[in-house]
């Protein structure tokens, strides 16, 4: 069985996906910035699946050369993955006129280019190995513009566009690409996000419930296994995926009403 590679694999949806794939018998390669968190994640995976191998690759996914080197090292050590999940990301909400430009650049560097570098480094090896499954973790913020997400949402819009193109471009190479649009999920990233999230944004994004990372990861892996383009867990995300163009004017009106409420 070919291994599974996961960026952002030290916590949240990435770690949950790694655990599920490990339980299926896949050896796991974890890519994340913090060596300490990687080591802790490795132990979590081994506790759940003691008979598989887990290797850690400390890397900043926004560094293209570092990603290419880490992926090449992982392939040389473990073989070409059958599953590759790009889950690394950041979310720091705030208002456009108040956030520095470099924060916008950082969101694009990690959320978009980090996924692009990872998938690009694996495209050739996976195609040569007969194909595989690629998962991109986007966001409900990729469906329509949300107050307070000017630095975050564009990176997820871009990831959505990349995934839709790769879904058709890489299919002839035997590579299925799936995009996941999680609702609010109980992860360290969500906890960090809440620290800067404007009150109006909290209210606007309320309604999809709070999912557990394990439930989202299970939906993602099932969608990847089936070769589906979109995984949109929950009623709210499913509705946004299907009907955004129709309901966007209502959503904008709803946002304006809430923004006025919190501005009073």
User: What is the rounded CA–CA span in Å between residue 238 and residue 260?
Assistant: 28
Looking at residue 18, its pLDDT comes to: 98
Q: Over the stretch 178-193, which tens digit does the pLDDT of each residue have?
A: 999 998 887 777 777 7
Q: What angle do CA 130, 133, 134 make, to 5 degrees?
A: 125
Query: Could you say which of 62, 156, 181, 197 is catalytic?
Result: 156
133 assigned to active site: no
Q: Given the residues 112, 147, 149, 152, select the one marked as catalytic.
A: 152
User: Distance (Å, rounded) from C-alpha 138 to C-alpha 116?
Assistant: 12
- Residue 138 designated active-site: yes
Domain range for residue 131?
Answer: 4-263
- What total of structural domains would you count in the chain? 1
Residue 152 catalytic?
A: yes
Which of the residues 10, 11, 62, 138 is marked catalytic? 138
Q: Which residue ranges in the chain fall short of pLDDT 50? A: none
Long-range CB contact pairs, 41-45, < 8 A, 24+: 41/9, 41/10, 41/11, 41/15, 44/15, 44/19, 45/15, 45/18, 45/19
The domain spanning residue 211 has which CATH number? 3.40.50.720
pTM of the model: 0.90
pLDDT number for residue 183: 85
In what helix (H) or strand (E) does residue 55 lie, and over which residues does it extend? Answer: strand 54-58
Residues 18-28 have pLDDT tens digits of 999 999 999 99
User: pLDDT at position 247, please?
Assistant: 60
Distances (CA, A) of 218 to 221, 227, 250: 5, 14, 32
Q: What is the pLDDT at residue 171?
A: 95
Cβ neighbours around 126 below 10 Å, total: 26
pLDDT on residue 237 = 76
DSSP state of 94: B
């Amino acid at each position: 069985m070919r291994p599974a590679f996961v960026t952002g694999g030290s916590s949240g949806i990435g770690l949950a996906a790694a655990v599920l794939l490990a339980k299926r018998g896949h050896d796991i390669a974890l890519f994340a910035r913090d060596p300490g968190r990687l080591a802790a994640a490795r132990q979590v995976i081994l506790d759940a699946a003691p008979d598989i191998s887990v290797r850690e690759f400390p890397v900043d996914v926004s560094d293209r050369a570092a990603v290419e080197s880490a992926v090449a090292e992982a392939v040389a050590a473990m073989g070409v993955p059958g599953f590759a999940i790009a889950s690394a990301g950041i979310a720091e909400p705030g208002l456009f006129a108040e956030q520095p430009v470099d924060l916008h650049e950082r969101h694009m560097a990690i959320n978009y280019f980090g996924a692009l570098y990872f998938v690009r480094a694996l495209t050739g090896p996976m195609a040569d190995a007969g194909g595989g499954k690629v998962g991109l973790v986007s966001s409900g913020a990729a469906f329509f513009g949300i107050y307070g997400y000017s630095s975050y949402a564009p990176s997820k819009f871009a990831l959505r566009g990349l995934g839709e193109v790769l879904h058709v471009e890489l299919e002839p190479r035997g590579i299925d690409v799936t995009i996941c649009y999680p609702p609010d999920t109980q992860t360290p990233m969500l906890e960090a996000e809440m620290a800067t999230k404007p009150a109006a944004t909290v209210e606007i994004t309320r309604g999809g419930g709070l999912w557990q990372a394990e439930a989202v990861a299970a939906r993602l892996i099932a969608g990847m296994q089936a070769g589906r383009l979109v995984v949109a867990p929950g009623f709210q995300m499913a509705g946004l995926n299907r009907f955004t163009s129709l309901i966007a004017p209502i959503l904008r009106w709803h946002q304006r009403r809430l923004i006025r409420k919190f501005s009073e």
